Amino acid sequence: MALRASGLGNFSNTELDKALAGKQASANIFMNNYNHGLSGASTPKDLETLFQLIYQKFNAVSKDEKSFENLKNTYVTYLANQSENPDMVYQDSVNSTIYKGNKFFRTPKSEDVKKLDYDFIMKAYKAFFNNAKDFTFYFVGNFDEAVIKPFIEQYIASLPTSKSKFAVKEFQTYKGELKNNFTKEMANPQSQATEEWRSNKVDYTLQNNVVVDIAGRLLEMKYNRSIRENLSAAYHAGASSDYDVDPNANKAVYTITGSAQLNPDKQKEAVPCFFTGMDETIANPDAADLVKAQQILLKQADVDAKTNGYWLGVLRTFVERGIDMHTDYKKTVSATDAKAISAFLKNVILAGGNHAEIIMTATQKK
């Protein structure tokens, strides 16, 4: 965010916005768990402006002290009373538990933001973006190859390169059984619960991605029925699935997460439903829910295939990992049966032996 508040070349952040008025082009620096780069978009008419922004983001991000201080003050104010915000407290507790207190995943405190060193941030930016040699550029959308090629030659081929290279280090997560249960006073008591099951590393494949997605959706429907509808114990109850891909190999850790915002008076009755629902889905996945989940995914696949973001993801996975996540996707969804769901939950998710429980029990603030 600090870099987005910075200037570009001779323009301050505000002046840059004015200079781009009337143009539909943007390029922003990003950094996630294992990657850093640029993401951008433009209309065909403003394509060259996009390339100019890419070039400048590598070469000419400049300090804008006023914009940076305004951003800092905004975050300091926002974070000042985070201990009074139950949702922020709880999410920070979830991340801290899963990622073993790693600050990369923690919610920063106001004091942390106040200590931000703009010079250090700029130095880090230059270290990450002084070498385009290891970057792969993907362009998807409505463009003419004959038009875009000269822009690539002018603005991408001329980017700086060096011999520097980053080593990728994996983030560590919990292993085994872990519980973080605590109480929190609040004006309007609402407990929150998370039950996460985490596999060990297994093959990162289209099949596993589809099966874990469907399994998460089946549990979403089951938890909603058992906790929210039948017990009337939750303001929200559901499940989700995810995966953390090994940065150095075609391996992944798959997760299933059950979560709920609970009525404190029914919390003790509701939490066991997460485990009962998992056991029931392993024993006998609901046939009607399976059909519903498949229909949703098949319909969404047609919608996604019309978006640039979808194809960027498909291309990246194919180029970087040699895995085609598109061609057989719908066939894989349709072929996933109850046996595959049961086997995956039992032999991959639960077999990992990794389970984290994070429960915030709400009490009435005095």
pLDDT tens, residue by residue, 167-208: 777 888 999 999 999 999 999 999 999 999 999 999 999 999
Q: How high is the pLDDT of residue 171?
A: 84
- Band of residue 82 on the pLDDT scale cut at 50, 70, 90: confident
User: One-letter amino acid identity for 249?
Assistant: A
pLDDT tens, residue by residue, 215-251: 999 999 999 999 999 999 998 899 999 999 998 899 9
What is the Cα–Cα distance from 210 to 306, expressed in whole angstroms?
A: 20
Q: How high is the pLDDT of residue 307?
A: 97
pLDDT tens, residue by residue, 95-148: 999 999 988 898 899 999 999 999 999 999 888 888 898 899 999 999 999 999
Flag whether pLDDT at 262 surpasses 90. yes
Query: How far, in whole angstroms, is CA 194 from its chain's centroid?
Result: 17
Token pair listed for 182: 């605590």
- Please compute the mean of the pLDDT values over residues 17-22 and round it to a whole number: 92
Q: Quote the mean pLDDT of the chain.
A: 94
Where residue 176 falls (left for φ over 0; alpha for ψ -120 to 50; beta otherwise) is left
pLDDT tens, residue by residue, 29-75: 988 888 889 999 999 999 999 999 999 999 999 999 999 999 999 99
Flag whether pLDDT at 162 surpasses 90. no
- Band of residue 280 on the pLDDT scale cut at 50, 70, 90: very high
Q: What DSSP assignment string belongs to 175-216?
A: -SEEEEEEEEEESS--EEEEEEEE---EE--HHHHHHHHHHH
CA angle 25, 30, 36 (to 5 degrees): 125
CB 273 within 8 A of CB 227: yes
In a 3-state reduction of DSSP, which class is residue 30? strand
| Burial of 134 from C-beta contacts in 10 A (0-12 / 13-18 / 19+) | exposed
Contacts 24+ apart (CB under 8 A), 52-56: 52/155, 53/8, 53/25, 53/26, 53/27, 54/27, 54/155, 54/156, 55/155, 55/156, 55/158, 55/159, 56/8, 56/9
Pairing of strands 177-186, 354-364: parallel
Instruction: From residue 73, give the alpha-carbon distance in Å to each of 66, 114, 339, 353.
Output: 11, 8, 54, 44
Lowest pLDDT segment from 60-64, 200-204, 277-281, 285-289: 60-64
Dihedral (CA of 207, 213, 218, 223) sign: positive
- The Cβ of residue 106 has, within 10 Å, a number of other Cβ atoms equal to 15
Flag whether pLDDT at 350 surpasses 90. yes
